[in-house]
Chain A
Amino acid sequence: MDLTVADTIREIIRGHIAENDGVVLGQCLSAVGWIQNTIPAQTEGLIELPMTDVAGAGMAVGMAVAGRRPIFVIRYQSFLWLNSSPIVNYAAKCKEIWGYSCPVFVRAIADEGNGLGPVHSNCYHSIFMHMPGLPVCAPMTPGEYRQIWDWYMTHDDPLFVSEHRRCFRSAEELPDIVSDRSVFTIYAASAARFTAREAVRMLAEQGIVCDLVNVLWLKPFELSERTLAPLRRTGKGLMLDSAYEVAGAARSIAYELMDATGARVRALGMADRSPGASRHLENGTPTPERIAAAVKEMLT
């Protein structure tokens, strides 16, 4: 049976503790479900932090300065607001100011819906893209998780990993969908990768063939033939993300794509309002219906 994303994360952590003298810090690591089964059920190598969302990240930073390559787990990205300062002001600036590295691996887990409400139902990776010295990625498949882990272990930078609970049970790899018959190019990051695939299928049934290009690295964004050639061919694009659209990752990357190709690219993310706990007030990753509507509007 293929490993899911959760299985992959758990096995990477198990190996890091056993083979690299690695360590994991976070709150309630051993709580029910071991954080969606992404933490190995053991005590060795795990540090249960007290409920301090202000100082916890600083402790992880200290372990990174001392060479332990810590994995710092944020169970909901809403907890980042108070934890962010040591990450962006210390870990990310370490090399520029002091010349040594602070390679902390930040596992920031996004979630949405499920009654989580105005603060916890969200994805906040865009604000971290704003700060220098901190690469930001959003792996959604087992293979991508291994890829970004290998990157982390062969570099000396901190890494902000924007996870999403929607992918934890998935064992599927999500290759790009590119066709000479395409009339439109969709780019997607985070959980929008899943809704985008459904939108591409829906649009195809209506005779609108679209490319789907996956965005693993939010910062630095990959400007390459893989990402740019489809857009140059279709001339129109849409960048999707699970975070807020205003001043967010989707608009930032849409700008980079437009600047690189001259093609028109719009962005679609969370609407500019707080999500509610009740179903009729939810606000999250663009749905296939929203995506399909946005594509059709751009094509008319």
Chain B
Amino acid sequence: MMSRDLRRPDLGAIPGLAATWPEARTLELFRRLCEIRHFDLRVRRGQIEKDVDTLIYLSVGQESVAAGVSMAMRGSWLLGQHRGHSFYLAFDGRREPLVDELLGLPTGCCGGMGGSPPIHDIERRIVGHIGLIGDQVPVAAGIAMARPGERVVSVFGDGAAEEDYVLATLGMAASRKLPILFVCEDNDLSVLTPTRDRREWLLADVARGFGIEAVDIADDPWLVAHWAETLSDRLPAVMNVRTCRGLWHVGTGSDDNADWDRFALVRETLAELGLADKAAAIESETEKGVEELWTSRLRTRSAK
């Protein structure tokens, strides 16, 4: 089956899965999803208002991948990619140094060296990305070999999946049974070039060829969390998660042509679960919290 045929919002769906979750867990999942969304929408506004002048890679539209994986894997080593605010936040990276980095302050998590791509919080095992797609993946293997017994999450996109770095590391992880969860955020785009113009193979098939368990699913956050948890005891494993980039590859623009709107679909599911009011309250709280954080850091920058 071709990659394009698998781009649908119900790929791999497990009917009724969300309803099996305890309410508190579902609301925590939604809280993480909301924080990512409102954080990146605030970054976007920051660039439009010229408070943020470095390159930014936003996760709007793809929030559920990081939120879902974090429900099972928070606390593991995390090696994210250039579009990394989502996983940084979901894995509980500290907020103030992240905002400061985007504002170009010396107190930023990279001291102002990086902007979006290399954000990190090493004290929380969040390792920075240098900006070359895919090259963080063998680094993940090195960490896994250096720290036996500690789990590692390696995140990359469908474009990076084509990098030799990734394919060689899958082989190494399979051969040495390294405890790595490889997560491919598959938005079907390398900048603007769709997957069908770049390759005719599926990452999950390649992983299985190496003897690694793999799933190819859509970005329903309950489904993502379910598989992250299921596979966390069977590492190495690969999750290819079909998702939709809501904004341009870099910067603030939008073509407004996403295949689906996951955030809206999640809201619908929450309403079906009778959690619409609680979800709305969480959304409002997180948006307010993000705004307060940015206001505080902007005030600090103005004072310097």
Q: Which A positions have Cβ atoms within 8 angstroms of B?
A: 23, 47, 49-50, 52, 54-68, 70, 85-86, 89-90, 93, 96-100
List 7 other contacts, CB 8 Å, given A50-B171, A97-B113. Answer: A52-B168, A59-B145, A62-B146, A63-B143, A68-B146, A86-B139, A89-B132
Specify the main secondary structure of chain A where it touches its partner: helix
Q: Nearest 4 pairs between A and B by C-beta?
A: A62-B142, A58-B138, A66-B146, A52-B168
- Determine if A54 and B165 form an interchain contact, defined as CB atoms under 8 angstroms apart: yes
Q: Which residues of A contact B110 (CB under 8 A)?
A: 97-98
- Determine if B130 and A66 form an interchain contact, defined as CB atoms under 8 angstroms apart: no
- Determine if A99 and B139 form an interchain contact, defined as CB atoms under 8 angstroms apart: no
> Out of A65, A86, A100, which one reaches B135, CB within 8 Å?
A86
- Determine if A97 and B118 form an interchain contact, defined as CB atoms under 8 angstroms apart: yes
Q: Please, how many angstroms separate the alpha-carbon atoms of A23 and B140 in the complex?
A: 16
Q: Please, how many angstroms separate the alpha-carbon atoms of A64 and B142 in the complex?
A: 8
- Determine if A65 and B139 form an interchain contact, defined as CB atoms under 8 angstroms apart: yes
- Determine if A62 and B141 form an interchain contact, defined as CB atoms under 8 angstroms apart: yes
Indicate whether B209 reaches chain A with its CB closer than 8 angstroms: no
- Determine if B137 and A55 form an interchain contact, defined as CB atoms under 8 angstroms apart: yes
> Out of A23, A61, A100, which one reaches B139, CB within 8 Å?
A61
Q: Please, how many angstroms separate the alpha-carbon atoms of A85 and B138 in the complex?
A: 12
Q: Which residues of A contact B114 (CB under 8 A)?
A: 97
Q: Please, how many angstroms separate the alpha-carbon atoms of A156 and B172 in the complex?
A: 27
- Determine if B142 and A65 form an interchain contact, defined as CB atoms under 8 angstroms apart: yes
> Out of B138, B146, B175, which one reaches A55, CB within 8 Å?
B138
- Determine if A90 and B168 form an interchain contact, defined as CB atoms under 8 angstroms apart: no
Which chain B residue lies CB-closest to A60? B142
Which chain A residue lies CB-closest to B127? A65
Indicate whether B50 reaches chain A with its CB closer than 8 angstroms: no
Quick one: given A62-B138, A66-B146, A89-B135, are A96 and B113 in contact (CB under 8 Å)? yes
Quick one: given A54-B168, A98-B110, A100-B122, are A90 and B135 in contact (CB under 8 Å)? yes
Q: Please, how many angstroms separate the alpha-carbon atoms of A52 and B136 in the complex?
A: 15
How far, in Å, is A47 (CB) from chain B's closest CB?
7
How far, in Å, is B169 (CB) from chain A's closest CB?
5
How far, in Å, is A49 (CB) from chain B's closest CB?
8
Indicate whether B253 reaches chain A with its CB closer than 8 angstroms: no
> Out of A47, A54, A64, A98, which one reaches B128, CB within 8 Å?
A98
Quick one: given A54-B165, A55-B169, A58-B138, are A66 and B147 in contact (CB under 8 Å)? yes
Which chain B residue lies CB-closest to A89? B130
> Out of A47, A59, A64, A70, which one reaches B138, CB within 8 Å?
A59
Quick one: given A52-B168, A54-B164, A99-B111, are A67 and B137 in contact (CB under 8 Å)? no
Which chain A residue lies CB-closest to B147? A66
Q: Which residues of B contact A61 (CB under 8 A)?
A: 138-139, 142
Cβ < 8 Å to A, chain B residues 105-136 = 110-111, 113-114, 118, 120, 122, 127-128, 130, 132, 135-136
Which chain B residue lies CB-closest to A64? B142
Which chain A residue lies CB-closest to B172? A50
- Determine if A58 and B146 form an interchain contact, defined as CB atoms under 8 angstroms apart: no
Q: Which residues of B contact A52 (CB under 8 A)?
A: 138, 164, 168, 171-172
- Determine if B127 and A55 form an interchain contact, defined as CB atoms under 8 angstroms apart: no
Q: Please, how many angstroms separate the alpha-carbon atoms of A58 and B164 in the complex?
A: 12
Cβ < 8 Å to A, chain B residues 131-187 = 132, 135-147, 164-165, 168-169, 171-172, 175
Q: Please, how many angstroms separate the alpha-carbon atoms of A100 and B125 in the complex?
A: 12
Q: Please, how many angstroms separate the alpha-carbon atoms of A70 and B130 in the complex?
A: 20
